[in-house]
């Protein structure tokens, strides 16, 4: 099917070409893709310099906030290329396609850290959801599961939901009703990384409703936490971002 592009004014300051299915903001495109376009933001290091894909240590859990100032995301350079064009399904039964990792090795992925079960997320005080390296053990991967003692999964320790980052954070086990929402990344020729949107059903609305006291303490209030990230997103390791990483 031929897709014509349209021009759209973004935030009154710029114009970008978008496919017809993108015009509504939150999208249910003809091909089943569930995608929300946000501001294009460059990932930077802690000093504000452009973060280069080649600079990422493999299997380190990095964190940046996107698309809102108070919504944390995880960035991981996996040890191997991801799968491509993985078919995923949201809690509401909407199917969408996760295209795969970016970078030369197609191994760099990013996901919203908000667990769709009961909204556990990476935060500045204590964090129960994180990436588990190759060979890592978790109670979430029992003996009957292929991930048992293999690691290379994202685990939410609150109720032991396990997600496969090689497959767009597809649920491998536990009570999570759908994959983590994926942050759509672009990798440019100069090796820089950019976040451009969110794929899958996100939980931002529920998150902002549920964590008012935390948002006040960590971001100065809900209004500040709900500001869209503009231009740059500082990226640090999880160990730098949070005081305590708790794993089960």
Which residue's CB is nearer to ligand FES, number 41 or number 171?
A: 171
Residue number, 156 or 229, with CB nearest to ligand FES: 156
Q: Name the residue nearer to ligand FES (CB basis): 10 or 145.
A: 145
107 or 120: whose CB is closer to ligand FES?
Answer: 120
Binding flag, residue 117, ligand FES (CB under 6 A): yes
Alpha carbons 154 and 115: distance in angstroms, whole number: 10
Asked if 214 is part of the footprint of ligand FES (rule: CB under 6 A), the reply reads no
Residues 151-210 that bind ligand FES (CB under 6 A): 156, 158-159, 161, 174-176
> Encoding tokens for residue 35?
């995608």
Of 37, 82, 120, 130, the residue at the interface with ligand FES (CB under 6 A) is 120
Closer residue to ligand FES in complex, CB, 28/208: 208
Query: Which of 90, 118, 234, 237 is the binder for ligand FES (CB under 6 A)?
Result: 118
Residue 175 CB, shortest distance to ligand FES, in Å, is: 6
Smallest distance, ligand FES to C-beta of residue 120, A: 4
Which range, of 49-57, 101-109, 111-119, 218-226, touches ligand FES by CB under 6 A? 111-119
Q: Of these, 78, 115, 154, 183, which contacts ligand FES (CB under 6 A)? A: 115
Q: How many of the chain's residues bind ligand FES (CB under 6 A)?
A: 11
The yes or no reply on residue 138 touching ligand FES (CB under 6 A) is no
- Between CA 20 and CA 126 the distance in angstroms is 42
For every residue of the chain, which 3-state class applies, written as one string? CCCCCEEEEECCCEEEEECHHHCCCEEECCCCCEEEEEEEEEEECCCCCECEHHHCCECCCEEEECCECCCEEEEEECCCCCCCCEEEECCCCCEEEECCCECCCCCEEEEECCCCCCCCCCCCCEECEEEECCCCCCCCCCCCCCCCCCCCEEEECCCCEEEEHHHCCEEEECCCCCCCCEEEEEECCCCEEEEEEEECCCCHHHHHHHCHHHHHHHHCCHHHHCCECCCEEECEEHHHHCCEECCC
List interacting residues with ligand FES (CB under 6 A): 115, 117-118, 120, 156, 158-159, 161, 174-176
């Amino acid at each position: 099917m031929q897709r014509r592009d349209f021009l759209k004014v973004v935030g009154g300051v710029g114009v970008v070409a978008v496919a017809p299915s993108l015009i509504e903001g939150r999208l249910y495109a003809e091909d089943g893709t569930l995608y929300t376009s946000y501001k294009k933001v460059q990932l930077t290091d802690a000093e504000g310099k452009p973060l280069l894909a080649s600079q990422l240590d493999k299997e380190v859990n990095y964190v940046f906030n996107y698309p809102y100032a108070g919504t944390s995301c995880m960035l991981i350079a996996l040890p191997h290329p991801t799968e491509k064009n993985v078919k995923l399904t949201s809690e509401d039964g909407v199917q969408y396609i996760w295209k795969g990792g970016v970078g030369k090795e197609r191994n760099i992925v990013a996901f919203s850290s908000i667990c769709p079960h009961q909204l556990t997320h990476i935060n500045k005080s204590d964090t129960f959801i994180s990436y588990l390296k190759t060979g890592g053990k978790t109670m979430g991967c029992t003996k009957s599961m292929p991930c048992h003692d293999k690691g290379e999964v994202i685990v939410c320790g609150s109720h032991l939901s396990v997600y496969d980052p090689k497959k767009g954070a597809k649920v491998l086990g536990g009570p999570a009703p759908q994959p983590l929402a994926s942050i759509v990344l672009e990798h440019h020729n100069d090796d820089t990384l950019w976040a451009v949107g969110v794929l899958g059903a996100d939980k931002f609305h529920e998150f902002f409703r549920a964590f008012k006291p935390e948002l006040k303490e960590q971001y100065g209030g809900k209004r500040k936490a709900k500001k869209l990230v503009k231009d740059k997103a500082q990226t640090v390791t999880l160990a730098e971002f949070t005081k305590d990483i708790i794993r089960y």
